[in-house]
Structure 1
Amino acid sequence: MTHDLGRLLRPRSIAVIGGGAWCTSVIEQCRKMGFDGPVWPVHPSRPELGGVPACQRLEDLPDTPDAAFVGINRHATIEAVGKLAAMGGGGAVCFASGFREVQAETGDGDALQAALLAAAGNMPIIGPNCYGFINYLDGALLWPDQHGGQRVGRGVAILTQSSNIAINLTMQARGLPLAYVATAGNGAQTGLAEIGQALIDDPRVTALGLHIEGVGDLRAFEALANAARALGKPVTALKAGRSDLAQAATLSHTASLAGSEAGARALLRRLGIAQVDSLTTLLETLKLLHLAGPLPSNRIAAMACSGGEASLVADAATGHDVVFLPLDADQRDALRQALGSKVALANPLDYHTYVWNDVPAMADTFAAMLAGDIGMGLLIVDFPRTDRCDPAAWDCAIEAAALARARTGTPLALVATLPETMPEAVTERIAGNGLVPLCGLDDALAAVAAAATLGAAGTAPAPLLLPGAPRDLAALSEVDAKAALAAHGLAVPASALAQTAEEAAQAAGALGFPVVLKGSGAAHKTEAGLVALNLADADAVRVAAQRMASPHYLVERMIGDGLAELLIGVRRDPAHGFVLTLAAGGVLTEILRDSASLILPVTEAEISAALDGLRIAPMLHGYRGRPPADRDAILRAVMALQEYVTTHAQRLDEAEINPLICTPTQAVAADALIRIGDAHDRHPCSHRTPWRGAGSHARPAQGQRHRRRHQPQDGRGLSQFPRRP
């Protein structure tokens, strides 16, 4: 169920319920920001709050409020929310903590949260356990603390689950216009995605930034991404935390490669949301998106009046997905005319200081660099501190850059190598001239790379394949796993089962040599000495079987002409969907850590692109005169695995093929593993043979890290205003 958050986020009237310092702060902040609607305090005994006359009861309000800040204890919050909903209120911010986040400590958190949701009904609420939001467009602040922002006519929205992080972001001095800063808290009713969609619905919002601790409702995030795509509003995100899934690999290599971090990155990439790795990069990316929008490519041109700075840019770019486009003949001619014969022409360009303060020559230089087929130009310029220096001599850089930008139409950023050398007043001047001020070289390059990924985003992908929550997981035997996958089109070797060394030798003769012999009893059979390869005759099979001393044996025809080995695995990630991992396979999986992750469902084109991104891709294409692997056969193997996962999505935990032996004419699964639901839902082939792999042991979830909570005390008194540590 979705909620109409319009009245709550853009209110014309606000009620403030409670008497703590946080409630007084809400009133004061609305007054300071020039909110032009009424703000009505509600308190049973105080005649006024923040200099504004108070009503004793909600029923005494002169009208139904569009938004309410509820700053009372958790039990009273439930009662107040119920009354607001009955009155037809537009929505509420629930400040108090003590709900689901304290279930382990108090034992009543779940029940109280359920009661809060029941009381709210169809009325939207944000929180509980959150600060609320700041609407800088209309001066409406349901916000119980100081902040560093100012009124704007248009800007970006930033949404986080953390109130502390939200406060910090309002204190930025980077020239980023903030339209909204909002927190989600527990997200009991309305999560990040739903609030985010309501924020981008405001035509004055240009881009959305997310700080994500947990994705939550996958379908809601799909809806947010689709809405943003339809509105042409880019979304960028900082995803926090690494899940225990990445460490809980009990059976497969896939689990260690496709942990929550890989799943999160794959999910955001699929949804067309640019991912960044720091708060400062988030801010710089949003600034770039606000002023220039998504970039058409990651090809850049950089200019500096110092060889040291030009080298610094080149070195810094090696860690980011950006490309310096070589200069063409026309650019070289134009640069030579502007700079003379003493300057070495390259990208990045050290244009020296010969033309400094010669605005026409500087503009010609910058325009020549912007004339190439690039997504953006970067002009490195660090401004002096204004308290001790005269910055007037740097005006020429802004003026010339603006002329070049206007002449070419190519976005141009002025980049300070140090954040301190781009004062906020300077950023405003730069932006006012149609340019992009970026603070800090590393963050600037990361922002350009992120904006370029958004420019390359295509149409909306197919809906996610949602995972189930299977119980009593157990591993199918290798034989059963291969049979299950073969039923969906996977190619597997001809094989036979044996219980003695002599039976194994006879089975090998029937299959035809050479063969592979495998023992039972371990998930990772190679490490346990339970695999013997390329056995050429019956005696070799007998000796290998006797050495293994296994209760059961699997004999398979050896796959020759292998060009490369791949791992193809799917892992259920409850937070992000089913994560498909493509990686170097066999014994090299953990050594190379060469992998790519995608979220199901995938297309053959997406699989092929991911394979080409692997370091072992040259082996698949044909390396040093060897023939290429059969790409169509590899694609069929991946699609067969996807078909199996789709069929068993509600019961499946993971499925892995490792290795998939890739030859010039086929792609054959030499080993397979499946973990699926309990015996009552087990795949029917799981009981056909006595062959059994290792058992599985699901690890309990680790304790969640504690978060600072907002805790008006139960009873009559209220706790002190929760300031940051």
Structure 2
Amino acid sequence: MKDLSRLLRPQSITVLGSVWAENVVVQCVKMGFSGPIWPIHPSKPHIGGLKAYASIADLPAPPDATFIGVNRHATVDVVAQLAQIGAGGAICFASGWTEAGEAELQADLVAAAGVMPILGPNCYGVINYLDGALLWPDQHGGRRVARGVALLSQSSNIVINLTMQARGLPVAYVACLGNAAQVGLAGLGAALLADPRVTALGLYVEGIDDAPAFAGLAQAARAAGKGIVCLKSGKTEAAQVAAASHTAALAGCGAASSAFLRQSGVAEVATLPELLETLKIFHVHGPQIGPRLCSLSCSGGEAGLVSDLAGPLGLSFPAPSDAQRRALGDILGPIVTIANPLDYHTFIWGDGPRTTDVFTTMLAGYDAGVFVIDPPRPDRCDPASFAPALAAIEAAGAATGKPAFPVSSLPENFDESLATAMMARGTVPLMGLEPALGALRAAQTPPGRGGWRPWPSRNSTRAGLMDEAAAKALLAAQGVGVPRGVSAGSLAELAPLTASLTAPFALKGLGFAHKTENGVVRLGLYNLNAQPEMPGATGYLLEEMVTGVVAELLIGCRRDPVYGASLTIGFGGVSAELLADTQTLICPVDATEIEAALRRLRLFPLLDGYRGRVRGDIVAVIDAALAVQALLLAGGLEEIEINPLMVRESGAVAVDAVIWKDME
């Protein structure tokens, strides 16, 4: 891994170019960078008010960091010269490389850099707010801090927007990757987190270049007590090249990327406000908070809104204990209904000691607390009457050692200066009820399994459909239950074989990935008399029909070009996409993770004896999923799908199986 310390924390900076270079000089001076800045220009004596040097050879010393703002062809030569004199690293700003079809030119750039680290090309740069070092050619909204979070983005415009936040979040670094020709996402993320002044890492990601390295980064961050939160874009692309299988449709890039982040221990969010609010939690409280939440507000409307918004997110607001009910009832009186969320009314408003007592008593029984409060805007109103409640929130957090979050219902209802001051004291105000609840959910993300890494990805090979009879023989050899059956090339050849089976039968035409859609499945047969041939069938499979079915599941395992391989499990049958009740995991997974995924299914109660129903054999389902994973790991296969897996009270049977095998 490249050593980026000089590039990210430079003692000296060089800039090349004209307008862009001058912007870098202006930003560094404005931010109070204490080291020397050496502009380079062949004809101008000064850049941004500083002495300019005619060439790299004229510099007083090898620079720690260089911003290269010249054209792409000149950039290659500049990088070679910097590498030769022992410079610490460079930002390659110019565009027009691989993204423009110039892969060879980008390869020349990497070769020219040698051991010297470069970011980009097509990279906007890096801001170090800790030391005032800005290799950044544009405006930004940050300020100097002593410690804070790092923002790493694959979009320069997105991260510029994030610097304009007014939420009290201290930002230590802003960094862009560009084309990541030499230094990738995991490498730059690790270098940022290596600074002890960095408390957490926020990512805007369009694509993950090295999944195993990223998983390693996430687990190292957790071990260091630093959280990572990610907003992954592009999840609705049609990596759901779905015609091939149900699994491809249900485990497209969105499901796979979310599974990968979850298993790596990375918190995932859906919006930029949630990203910032989660980072605030991580900055103060570390990479994880507990799941048991309480909510307090002085309005029934706010309490109801919290409940309504929290429900779809799966946030837990358990009822207060009997001891809490008695204690809170003694303070608040008989009119207030003690519940969670708690509407404590306004009887205690302005009474600091009683408010502190209520807040502390409630928070003590939970992992963290939501305190809905919207201080009046200070430019037109007097927020003084809200001071006792705000102080009580901080006091409750200090007394219990639990995170106490003041939460405004609207983001603009919490002044930036107030938020900044509270953050500095260790209290995290969350701005906007919906982003706040989303951030609280994200902050509950558990750490990934220690040492877990996804399988290496590989280039997709040309795949061919395996005959279903052969596919089931392969599954049976791996221990998966399959129906008793016989196969033949024609119905005439099949008819004499039926004597070995017990009716009723299922008759299938072979050679189709989706049999029902192609009309090549006939059920409930007792013989083959007068059965017409099935057009397009390459052969026939006759099986005994499965009885005593508790539920129909889908199990699919497929190679993934980014994450190695994914395992999808859920409710199946011909309505699999309609139900859309599946969970996707990234291989390898173990029995515990598969069972947890099963229990996250909306319809899992149907497997677990809902309303007196027979319970399905969950162990058999888990065993089947592990067997499918083992088959894919063994090699030679691109995708395996069992749909449906008929789950019975004892055992599970793969009624339909599709396997795509390598053809190269």
Task: Indicate whether the TM-score tops 0.5.
Answer: yes
Whichever residue aligns with residue 589 of structure 1, its letter is: A
Q: For residues 534 and 66 of structure 2, what CA distance do their matches in structure 1 show?
A: 75
Q: Is the 8 A contact 2:397 2:403 kept in 1?
A: yes
**Shift in Å at residue 548 of structure 1?**
7.0
Match of 1:431 among 411, 423, 436: 423
The question of 1:523 aligning with 2:508 is answered: no
Partner of 2:466: 476
Alignment of 1:497-646 (within 5 A): 497-535=487-525, 537-538=526-527, 541-546=528-533, 550=537, 552-646=539-633
Q: Is the 8 A contact 2:458 2:564 kept in 1?
A: no
SS at match of 1:668: strand
List per-residue Cα deviations over 1:663-705 (Å, max 9, x = no partner): 1222121111122222xx4xxxxxxxxxxxxxxxxxxxxxxxx
The question of 1:153 aligning with 2:153 is answered: no
**Shift in Å at residue 609 of structure 1?**
1.1
Match of 1:223 among 211, 216, 219: 216
Partner of 1:172: 165
The root-mean-square deviation of aligned C-alpha atoms, in Å, is: 1.7
Cα–Cα, structure 1 residues 629 and 344, in superposed 2: closer, same or farther, change >3 Å? closer
Q: For residues 101 and 338 of structure 1, what CA distance do their matches in structure 2 show?
A: 65
Q: Is the 8 A contact 1:504 1:545 kept in 2?
A: no
Cα–Cα, structure 1 residues 342 and 666, in superposed 2: closer, same or farther, change >3 Å? closer
SS at match of 2:61: coil
Cα–Cα, structure 1 residues 542 and 549, in superposed 2: closer, same or farther, change >3 Å? farther
Percent identity among equivalent residues? Answer: 51
**Shift in Å at residue 283 of structure 1?**
0.2
Q: For residues 180 and 321 of structure 1, what CA distance do their matches in structure 2 show?
A: 33
SS at match of 1:168: helix
Partner of 1:120: 113
SS at match of 1:182: strand
SS at match of 1:268: helix
Partner of 2:439: 447
Q: For residues 525 and 212 of structure 1, what CA distance do their matches in structure 2 show?
A: 39
Cα–Cα, structure 1 residues 662 and 548, in superposed 2: closer, same or farther, change >3 Å? farther
List per-residue Cα deviations over 1:136-191 (Å, max 9, x = no partner): 01111100011111100110001001111111111101000000011111111111
Partner of 2:370: 378
Match of 2:28 among 27, 30, 49: 30
SS at match of 2:375: coil
Partner of 1:234: 227
Match of 1:366 among 359, 375, 379: 359
Q: For residues 65 and 397 of structure 1, what CA distance do their matches in structure 2 show?
A: 52
Larger displacement relative to structure 2 (89-98 or 652-661)? 652-661
Partner of 1:3: 2
Q: For residues 534 and 634 of structure 2, what CA distance do their matches in structure 1 show?
A: 40
Partner of 2:64: 66
Match of 1:660 among 613, 620, 645: 645
Gaps spanning 5+ residues in structure 1: where? 104-108, 682-725
SS at match of 2:444: helix
**Shift in Å at residue 502 of structure 1?**
3.8
Match of 2:185 among 192, 200, 205: 192
List per-residue Cα deviations over 1:298-341 (Å, max 9, x = no partner): 21111111111111111111232311120112212221222222
The question of 1:16 aligning with 2:15 is answered: yes
List per-residue Cα deviations over 1:24-81 (Å, max 9, x = no partner): 1111111111111111001111111000001111011101111100000000000000
Whichever residue aligns with residue 378 of structure 1, its letter is: V
Whichever residue aligns with residue 642 of structure 1, its letter is: Q
Partner of 2:399: 407
SS at match of 2:294: strand
List per-residue Cα deviations over 1:580-635 (Å, max 9, x = no partner): 10011212312211100000001011111111222332232234444322222222
SS at match of 1:636: helix
Q: For residues 632 and 512 of structure 2, what CA distance do their matches in structure 1 show?
A: 24
Q: Is the 8 A contact 1:504 1:542 kept in 2?
A: no
Cα–Cα, structure 1 residues 139 and 504, in superposed 2: closer, same or farther, change >3 Å? same
List per-residue Cα deviations over 1:450-469 (Å, max 9, x = no partner): 1111xx32542432112321
List per-residue Cα deviations over 1:505-546 (Å, max 9, x = no partner): 3222222322211123432111222112232x32xx224445
Match of 2:389 among 397, 413, 416: 397
Q: For residues 330 and 625 of structure 1, what CA distance do their matches in structure 2 show?
A: 35
Q: For residues 266 and 162 of structure 1, what CA distance do their matches in structure 2 show?
A: 23
Q: Is the 8 A contact 2:455 2:587 kept in 1?
A: yes
Match of 1:261 among 254, 259, 268: 254
Alignment of 1:270-309 (within 5 A): 270-309=263-302
Q: Is the 8 A contact 2:297 2:344 kept in 1?
A: yes
The question of 1:131 aligning with 2:124 is answered: yes
**Number of positions where the alignment pairs a residue of Structure 1 with one of Structure 2:** 664
Cα–Cα, structure 1 residues 290 and 550, in superposed 2: closer, same or farther, change >3 Å? closer
Whichever residue aligns with residue 6 of structure 1, its letter is: S
Whichever residue aligns with residue 148 of structure 1, its letter is: G
Partner of 1:84: 82
Cα–Cα, structure 1 residues 248 and 459, in superposed 2: closer, same or farther, change >3 Å? closer
Q: For residues 174 and 244 of structure 1, what CA distance do their matches in structure 2 show?
A: 32
Partner of 2:414: 422
Cα–Cα, structure 1 residues 551 and 40, in superposed 2: closer, same or farther, change >3 Å? closer
Whichever residue aligns with residue 387 of structure 1, its letter is: D
**Shift in Å at residue 473 of structure 1?**
2.0
The question of 1:97 aligning with 2:82 is answered: no
Q: Is the 8 A contact 2:263 2:448 kept in 1?
A: no
Q: For residues 26 and 58 of structure 1, what CA distance do their matches in structure 2 show?
A: 17
Cα–Cα, structure 1 residues 482 and 387, in superposed 2: closer, same or farther, change >3 Å? same
